[in-house]
Structure 1
Amino acid sequence: MGVQRIDVSATTTAPAALVHALLRDGASWPTWSPIGSFELESPGPDGGESVGAVRVFRTGRVTSRERIAEVVPDRRFSYTLVSGLATKDYRADIDLTEGPGGTTVRWHSSFRAKVPGLGGVYRRSLTSFIRQCVDGLAAHATAQAEAHPRP
């Protein structure tokens, strides 16, 4: 079973700190993504949505449990899938690169399909879902930055 990879990017005029804050706040995800609801199942050892925290997202009939794997302030937010999809070894890294025109959001993930031969099907479906997440995050961050401009 081969490793499947997804790599989606978008740019927002918002600063990286604002984008990172949205990623860290699971409760904001239903606002800017196709996700229906959020619940913090268990906080990380440092409290709240820190590394090790398990977050539950529901979208339609799908419930996924994700563990925060890495947090680099204003630069990276990573998570692994605990349960909910027919994948193994799922990890997503969301990298933020701030430049003069704003922040580029690069959401890249990899996984293996639990069912042989279905990796491409899962990759296409997840790519579409992640594209909606990235585009929604970029648009929402832009709107937030415009509503509350930096001095």
Structure 2
Amino acid sequence: MGEQRIDVTATTTAPAAAVYALLRDGASWPTWSPLGSFELESPGPEGGESLGAVRRFHTGRTTSRERIVELVPDRRFSYALLSGLAIKGYRADVDLTEGPDGTTIRWRSSFRAKVPGMGGAYRRSLAKFLQRCADGLAQHAAARLTP
């Protein structure tokens, strides 16, 4: 069972700080991503959605639980899947690079399939999902700048 990798990008006219704020706010995710609902299962040691917080997302019949594992203000938001999908060792890093015309969002993840031979199918499905997340985040961040 080999490691699977996904790397998707999107660009937005919004500054990195605005994009980062949306990533940190789990309640905003159902607005700009395919996710159905959000719940903060347990806050991080510093309160709220800080490092170590566990966030729960529900979509259809699937409930995923994710722990925030790295925060670099306005530059990186990282999380690890705790449960909900038939994969293991899932980690995603969302890196933000601000330029003169806005921000590039690079959403990378890696994982292993729990079921032998299913890694490619999970990778293709998750790549589409993550591209929708990145595109939705970019569009929503830009739209929030427009009065």
| TM-score calculated relative to the size of structure 1 | 0.96
Mapped partners of 2:142, 2:2: distance in 1: 37
Aligned residues: 147
3-state SS of paired residue (1:52): coil
3-state SS of paired residue (2:95): strand
3-state SS of paired residue (1:94): strand
Q: Is residue 142 of structure 1 aligned with residue 146 of structure 2?
A: no
CA-to-aligned-CA distance 1:35-86 (integer Å, 9 cap, x gap): 0000000000010000100000011111000000000000000000000000
Q: Offset at 1:145?
A: 1.7
Q: Is residue 73 of structure 1 aligned with residue 73 of structure 2?
A: yes
- Show the counterpart of 1:33: 33
Report the aligned-residue RMSD: 0.5
Q: Is residue 127 of structure 1 aligned with residue 112 of structure 2?
A: no
Mapped partners of 1:86, 1:114: distance in 2: 6
| TM-score calculated relative to the size of structure 2 | 0.99
Identical pairs, percent? 77
> Moved runs in structure 1, 4+ residues, more than 4 A?
none
Q: Is residue 14 of structure 1 aligned with residue 14 of structure 2?
A: yes
Mapped partners of 2:54, 2:95: distance in 1: 20
3-state SS of paired residue (1:108): strand
3-state SS of paired residue (2:106): strand
Task: Structure 2 unaligned segments of length 5 or more: list them.
Answer: none
Task: Structure 1 unaligned segments of length 5 or more: list them.
Answer: none
Mapped partners of 1:30, 1:132: distance in 2: 12
